[in-house]
Structure 1
Amino acid sequence: MKVVTISTVDELVNAVGNQAIEVIRVKGKIIESPSLNLSPGQQLLGEGDSMIKFKRGIDGIKVSRDNKIEGLTFIVEPSCRAILNRPDVDSLGTLSLKSVKTIGQIQLLATGSVRSGHVIAQNVEVIEADTRELQDRPKGFGVYVLQGAFTLWNQQTDSNVTITAHLTGLRAGSNEKPVQGSGIFVSGAGDVGGRLEVDMLETGEIHSNGGIKQGTPDVISGGVFVVYGAHVKKVVNNGSVTTYGVNDMVLDNWGMVNEWMAEKRITSHGPSGIGFVNFSEIGTLRILSDIETYGIGARGFNLYNGSLKYAEFKRIVTHANAAVGIQVSRPLGTLVVHEDIETFGGEGESLVKGVITQLSADGLSVKEGGKIDKVEIGGRIVTNGQNVRSLHVQGEINAMTVKGGIFSNGSGSKAVLIENGIVPLNGIKIYEQSAK
């Protein structure tokens, strides 16, 4: 194995261009690098606090097949790609990114000739990125999705093409500087087409802002987004996930997820930014910290489509008009909330499947077509706004306990409104402002 250590731009360019060199060790900080193309099998390894800064307006390093990048920081302009892959090889082989930081997007696509590959990403941080102008976006449910600061996307239309991945320690943005666009984005080609199989998707802290204009009905982003055609065995959010803008979902699923667990806070600051929204298939969902939203129409949790067997939450709080606490439109097995569901808003507008829709900030809303086998609330269901319902059922609840009671504190509001079916409320304390 031929190994070289380099510390200048010229040495770097020469080493990358020499296919006989298998391992390139980067020592120190290199600036004004041109774009680089790794040959199949080449490794690029950093020693100490090593960094490569590229010339303005260009992409950074392009991987091919069986490449390994470890211990390096790559810097391009935020709207450029710091790491991307070549479309003219038949396979990514095993592509490994470990202890890598970037300013600029990491974009890995199965397109062109790429028909297989396995991606390992471990301890990877996108410090800053801007994907808002990228027009290549998945579309479903009436909306387009902005690509992520970290994007892994199988775009092949052939359903026989499968890309696999193991992704741990992914981080994006900061409170001071969220990434622009989505945060972490994994996708297949669609409901029909190439698949993405991920055994583990584990994230650290994520901060994202889609930069979507107020009133835009057909574009969304997500802090962590599992898009269609992706099957993830386990998603774990070990760090807090926060979104800041219009139509910025915090956690969103269009794919298939066996188990999704979030251990830290889920926070949305922008209008129509839902804490967790599901449009497809999830086995078990556990949110072990608070979901809290602040924008108009920013619901806490939505089961819009697909199915969900078990959903567990610590506490859900929304603060604005049209911000429903929990909205269920499809069958759900068991719903557990250990503490309170609480809303503070009244009526307003929110984005629903690509349409701006009038909603009320109800506490727990079961829509027509929604059915919950068992509801267990350890605290209260509380609404504080005007003309809302704490429990609003147009579908069905088969069994229900609310240990702290159901409260409506706003004028014109109802604690319970059952429009269809029978909801067992025996032993549940119900309190309305008007009853004072």
Structure 2
Amino acid sequence: MTVNTFDDLVSGIQNGEKDITISRSILCNYSIILPKGVNLNGQPQENGELPLLSFQHSDGIGVSANNSVKNLNIDVPTHHKAIFNTTVQQDLGTFTFENLLVKGQVSIITRVGVEKANIIINNLDIHSADARHYLEQPQKYGVNVLQGALTIYNINPNVDSLVSVAVSNLSIGRKNAPVSGCGVFISGFGDQGGRTEISKLHTKAIYSNGKIPLGVADYITGGVFILYGAHANEVITDGEVITYGVNDMVLDVWGSVDDWTSNAPIISYGPSGVGFVNFGMVKNFTVNAPLQTYGLGARGYNQYDGTVDNISFQSIETFGDGSVGIQISKKIGTLTVNGDVTTHGSIGASLVKGVYIDLPAYALSIKNGGAATNITIKGNIATYGDHVTSYIVEQGGNPGLLTVEGKITASGQNSQIEKTE
């Protein structure tokens, strides 16, 4: 059935049509709910442009089970949901979202009673959204995580509950016009309970800003955030990932990832944003582009909990006071930096597990309990701020085999090259 008015679209759904094609742009008076097995598809108009489905004061398209939404532009108010799920049943089947340009959040949240769902996303571009006000928020390490422009969240505590996810060609936000909240947010119920399995997460550029006020220590966001209860086989970020706000991590893991590769710059502009922070279990993590942070207390790489087997960076550079280059608090395997590790700041406040503390902008810091099998820095370790130690190992820390092929320097006043406590 082909429709070009809102009344015809509603009639088609009510009459049990399974495949509905939209041929013209339509203003919808209220949300539309696709019953089980209904597919919604946009047909290019004479000039090749896909139709725009607009919603004035409401959420957009609700999906029930075994639905697809393809080849459309969708416009809802930024603080509403452009696509959302509506049904609680044991098996939701497969949701397919393909070739969509979206304003508003895309949200699939599975609750008690849902044991199975499969989500396939290809060529989804969420150009603007505000996901900060939704109350379903993971909590751990003294912080809550705000939802994202793309939110996939299994909050069924049943250990048999499983959400399967495959994402390709995902874009979120625009440069200097980020979405509000996380960019990508994918979570299971927790460390125990319902799971989310990601076979592949492939992104293009991601731009996000949590808009968290400075000084608020118990909320965070991430550009790409793999939360607890979620396991990813493969994550690839082929576009730059940039966060702009306070406590906005760029890449963050609470769950587990087998292989993560970033092929474009990783940048944080806000205070207490971390380029890559890991609380989870990561096997291989590779950044083939510069990692830079600019805000107060915005660190480059933090290993807080969990571990990583093999991790490598092209280079790490921080500019803010309190912005540590590399901080290792747990045991990891092999760490390689193919270029330099550089910090420019002095002492400043930085968010650590929900508490602000003062930190010097160390370039390489091994904390008590932090350890590595081996660390190789192929370039230089350099600091430029005052009252900073370039390389510090606290009592109870162990860097393993450390190789620095360049020089270790400390250029600031009252700064030193190395300290072992």
Determine if the TM-score, normalized by the shorter chain, exceeds 0.5. yes
How many Å apart are 1:52 and its aligned residue?
Answer: 4.0
Give the corresponding residue for 2:130: 130
**Are positions 1:65 and 2:62 aligned together?**
no
Retained in 2: the 8 A contact 1:122–1:168?
yes
Q: Distance in 2 between matches of 1:143 and 1:243?
A: 18
Equivalent position of 2:33 in the other structure: 37
How far residue 272 of structure 1 moved from its aligned partner, in angstroms, is 0.1
Identity %: 39
- Separation of aligned partners in 2, 1:60 and 1:402: 55
Preserved contact between residue 87 and residue 111 of structure 1 (Cα < 8 Å):
no
Task: Tell me, in whole angstroms, the C-alpha distance in 2 between the residues paired with 1:246 and 1:122.
Answer: 30
SS, match of residue 92 in structure 1: strand
Question: Aligned runs of 1:165-184 on 2, under 5 Å?
Answer: 165-184=165-184
Find out whether 1:8 has 2:11 as its counterpart: no
Q: Which moved more, 1:53-62 or 1:213-222?
A: 53-62
Residue 232 of structure 1 corresponds to which residue in structure 2?
232
> Matches of 1:129 and 1:279 in 2, distance apart?
27
Identify unmatched segments of 5+ residues in structure 1. 420-436
Aligned to 2:409: 407
| 3-state SS, counterpart of residue 199 of structure 1 | strand
**SS at structure 1 position matched to 2:23:** strand
Q: What amino acid is aligned across from residue 36 of structure 1 in structure 2? A: I
1:176-204 CA distance string (max 9 Å, x none)? 42000000010000001100011101111
Distance 1:133 1:260 in 2: 29
Question: How many aligned residue pairs are there?
Answer: 415
Question: Does the 8 A contact of 1:64 with 1:89 survive in 2?
Answer: no
| 1:126 Cα deviation after fit | 0.7
Tell me the amino acid that sits aligned with residue 347 of structure 2.
Answer: E
Aligned equivalents of 1:14 and 1:308: distance in 2?
Answer: 54
Match for residue 18 of structure 1 among 15, 20, 31: 15
| Aligned equivalent of 1:218 | 218
- Contact conserved, 1:143 with 1:218, CA < 8 A, in 2? yes
Q: What residue identity is the alignment partner of 2:51?
A: M
Report if the CA contact (8 A) 2:27-2:53 is conserved.
Answer: yes
**1:73–1:101 Cα contact (<8 Å) kept:** yes
Q: Give distance in 1, aligned partners of 2:15 and 2:387.
A: 71
1:41 CA displacement: 0.9
CA distance in 2, matches of 1:106, 1:398: 44
20, 27, 47: which one aligns with 2:43 = 47
- Runs (4+) of structure 1 exceeding 4 A deviation are none
Contact 1:87/1:113 (8 A) holds in 2: no
Deviation at 1:375, TM superposition (A): 1.1
What residue is the counterpart of 1:83 in the other structure? 83
Letter in 1 for 2:23: K
C-alpha contact (below 8 Å) 1:7/1:29 kept by paired residues: yes
Query: Any idea what the Cα deviations from partners look like across 1:364-398, whole Å, max 9, x if unmatched?
Result: 00101001111111110000001111111111122
For 1:314, what is the secondary structure of its paired residue? strand
Structure 2 unaligned segments of length 5 or more: list them.
none
Structure 2 counterparts to residues 33-432 of structure 1, below 5 A: 33-48=29-44, 49-394=49-394, 395-419=397-421
SS of alignment partner, residue 43 of structure 2 = strand
Q: Deviations over 1:90-142 (max 9, x none)?
A: 32201101111210000001114322111000111111100111122110100
Determine if contact 2:55/2:75 at 8 Å carries over to the other structure.
no
Q: Distance in 2 between matches of 1:167 and 1:385?
A: 42
- Structure 1: how far apart are the matches of 2:411 and 2:342? 11
1:56 is displaced (CA, Å) by 2.6
1:98 counterpart SS class: strand
8 Å Cα contact 1:33/1:53 also seen in 2:
no
TM, length-normalised to structure 2? 0.97
